[in-house]
Homo-oligomer: A and B are copies of this chain.
């Protein structure tokens, strides 16, 4: 590999001039610039990003940290970020914490060690220790998905309260009263907001919620399945189930299928967030989806703004909350 010194030698200028020509061509004379250009081409010089990062104290990498890269929600956001970053000479380093806080922390520390220019982070923690950790990071960070109280950073996400409310209202309009709700982890903002949207809408409609109809699905497949089973074996069953995310809702569908319930004839089902092959799942689940592309775009622009603008770093954190979209399926019947 050719180094900057090879270029300098060939162009018969000093190393610092070559460096200057690369970073700020306007400050180098035309003929010198030309000599350097030719020398660079002749030796095939490409600056070593590692050496640059070490010297500058900042790299051109952006860290992307989520709990599950396989989730299409994160996948769409990742793609948007990658495209935007690439257009701005930045490179996205994707990492997966598997939803584990300690793993996430290790990854973030590693990324900081790499002197990443910025971080797009879907936070997985919430306690004081975690907050301190995030607060201590001296890098532009845009958080998304989970709004965590106490993190003073930009946040990009959807109106989860509305998401829960929309589906609840839809079920109420169809005549349902015995509506069950499979929740997510209580420490997650998305989970509590979606539940609030459900509970408030029920209350506003004057419909009392059977406490046995609210079960914890942890946003996971296993817990969601168990929670759904608990719902289905009750003597007085719900007429509709609302899953707080895709995993718990589809687990509920599976449980229903296994027990012999038909959807929507016996029980209606609705969920928040899409999955990859939802169009071939029978019945097509009625859902509320987030505008992942828009979210990704905002995250990308906001992060690059903070990274590239000198004064962008000190701007106060801002929240961007998008409205989710109702996507009707045929999993909810009128009763």
Which residues of A come within 8 Å of B, CB atoms?
46, 48-51, 53-54, 59, 69-72, 75, 78-79, 82, 86, 91-96, 98, 106-107, 110, 113-115, 250, 253-254, 257, 275-277, 279-282
Q: Which residues of B contact A79 (CB under 8 A)?
A: 96, 98
Question: How far apart sit A91 and B96, CA to CA, in the bound complex (Å)?
Answer: 11
* Nearest 6 pairs of A and B residues by beta carbon: A70-B75, A94-B94, A282-B282, A49-B113, A50-B54, A254-B280
Copies of this subunit: 2
Question: How far is A279 from B257 in the complex, measured between Cα atoms in Å?
Answer: 10
Q: Which residue on B lies nearest to A95, using beta carbons?
A: B94
Q: Find the B residue at minimum CB distance from A64.
A: B94
Q: Contact at B276–A49, with CB atoms within 8 Å?
A: no
Contact with A96, one of B94, B106, B107 (Cβ below 8 angstroms): B94
A54 to B91, CA, bound (A): 19
A50: which of B50, B93, B95 is its contact (CB, 8 Å)?
B50
Known A69-B78, A276-B70, A281-B281; contact A50-B94, beta-carbon cutoff 8 A: no
CB-nearest residue of chain B to A279? B254
Contact of A82 among B59, B71, B96 (CB under 8 A): B96
Chain B residue with the shortest CB-CB distance to A72: B70
Contact B275 A50 (CB under 8 A): no
Residues of B within 8 A of A95 (CB): 92-94
Give CA–CA (A305, B13) in the complex, Å.
45
By beta carbon, the residue of chain B nearest A283 is: B282
Chain B residues closer than 8 Å to A86, beta-carbon distance: 106
Residue in contact with A281 in the complex, picked from B53, B82, B92, B277, CB distance below 8 Å:
B277
Query: A113–B48 contact, CB under 8 A?
Result: yes
Q: Is the CB of B96 within 8 A of A78?
A: yes
Chain B positions within 8 Å of A49 at CB level: 110, 113-114
Query: Considering the chains assembled together, what is the distance between the CA atoms of A69 and B277 in angstroms?
Result: 16
Q: List 26 A-B contacts (CB under 8 A).
A: A46-B113, A48-B54, A48-B113, A49-B110, A50-B54, A50-B59, A50-B113, A50-B114, A50-B115, A54-B54, A69-B70, A69-B78, A69-B94, A70-B70, A70-B72, A79-B96, A79-B98, A92-B95, A93-B95, A94-B94, A94-B95, A94-B96, A275-B276, A280-B281, A281-B282, A282-B282
Task: Knowing that A50-B53, A93-B93 touch, tell me 16 more A-B residue pairs with CB under 8 angstroms.
Answer: A46-B113, A49-B110, A49-B113, A50-B59, A69-B78, A69-B94, A79-B98, A91-B107, A93-B94, A94-B94, A94-B95, A94-B96, A253-B280, A275-B276, A276-B277, A281-B281
